[in-house]
Amino acid sequence: MQWEKLKPPEPDDPMCCCECDLDQYGCCCDCEDLDEAFTRWLKDRPSKGGSCQSPVLGAIIDRMEISLIPALLLLPLVLRVAALHYLLGITILTALPGMVLWYYYATHRKKKRTLFFLTLSLYSLFYMYYLFITEILPRGDVSQLQMCTVTTGVILTLVSLIQTKRGPGFVTPSLHVSHSHSQEADKDSSHLNGCIQSAAATGTENALTTKWRSCPVCKIMRPPRAGHCRTCGSCVQRLDHHCVWINSCVGQANHRSFLLSLSVFVVTSLYGISLVLSSLCPRQYLMTALLYCPGVYTQSSSALCFTCAWYSSIVTGGLFYMWLVQVVNISLNVTEREAQLALRNNTGQRRLWGLVISTGQYSRGFCQNWAEFLTMVEASVSPRSSLTDLV
């Protein structure tokens, strides 16, 4: 029993510093949380020169989310200021993604759930749709069929997002119990039918059974390809990644709906941007209208719509990259978590504008991988992922 506790972690699921329970400070690996483990070591040491961090600064950092969520109400004002002149538009639309990325990395390092990105995405979606109705539709260049198409895309995006927020499929102790019962039932049925299994089949079955490992944090048995999310604080079946834009994990139960949300949003956004540019710049090609649209700053309404088209293009470009990462990973039957582990273990390569290309042990070919993804049995939603988890 002592050896089982001191046994090193499995190579495909390395234990992080904060998850190690063998040492008081948990400095046992070289992951990204090494600085956090060193911080915990410093906190246990007696202070010699006073606190290194101001209490006021710490309070500001802890309450940063409370001050940033009301700032979303300033988004229309910021876009209107950017529409005053094209130089202001370039400056603001360049600085805005940088600020969002800075806040993303700040919350990612703190392993903290935040509603900022989900609120920003929903608020941007509704505000762009509001401008489309109030500014573009009265111009008379959009037909009723095109308007219904955009509205349908917005509704489908919200419906698929709600389906995604139902839960990623958390690992519960009852999951391993039901798996053990099913294994015993299969053995009993095989014995009753008089089927004699070969030694190779028995070895394969034992190998599949031993893939269930104990989580060093949750202390529960989890199935293959499951992982522990330090942001949510739970193990997720077939964990892909923790998405800050939906404030939830992407796992076995909501991976397909997550991909559907990305697909519908990207298609709807591209279609809406094309309608806006066709209305504002009827004499320009759609591919060049974003770069050159003469006379668009002569009116405040057209300048605002043109600026919002640029803002939507930036958001759509980021989500399209996320969609491309998901498509590549599904084609290779690898999750984002497994791809990052492969990159850490030098078994994966960065290609295609930063995409991690890794063919793991689960890949069975392009068609087989997509068939497995589309027919994947969804995990039952645990009580933690109920309606209260939608926020």
**Other C-beta atoms lying within 10 Å of the C-beta of residue 79:** 23
Residue of 268, 172, 161, 285 lying closest to 222 (CA atoms) = 172
Question: What's the half-sphere exposure (Cβ side, CA atoms, 13 Å) at 115?
Answer: 12
Place of tokens 């990105």: 117
Q: Decide if 243 is catalytic.
A: yes
Name, in order, each residue with C-beta under 8 angstroms of 386's C-beta and a sequence gap of 6 or more: 167
> How far is the CA of 106 from the CAs of 34, 100, 344, in angstroms?
16, 10, 22
Closest CA to 125 of 303, 241, 245, 244: 245
CA distance 227 to 241: 9
Bridging pattern class, strands 248-250 and 241-243: antiparallel
Let me know: does 246 contact 236? Beta carbons within 8 Å: no
CA-CA distance, 303 to 85, in Å (whole number)?
8
- 327, 321, 312: which is closest to 260 by C-alpha? 327
Catalytic residue among 16, 17, 215, 243: 243
- Give 387: exposed, middle or buried? Use CB within 10 Å, 0-12, 13-18, 19+: exposed
d(Cα 236, Cα 220) in Å, to the nearest integer? 12
What secondary structure does DSSP assign to 242-303, as a single string? EETTTTEEE-TTTHHHHHHHHHHHHHHHHHHHHHHHHHH-TTS-HHHHTT--TTTTSSHHHH
Half-sphere exposure of 186 (CA within 13 A, CB side): 10
Catalytic residues: 243
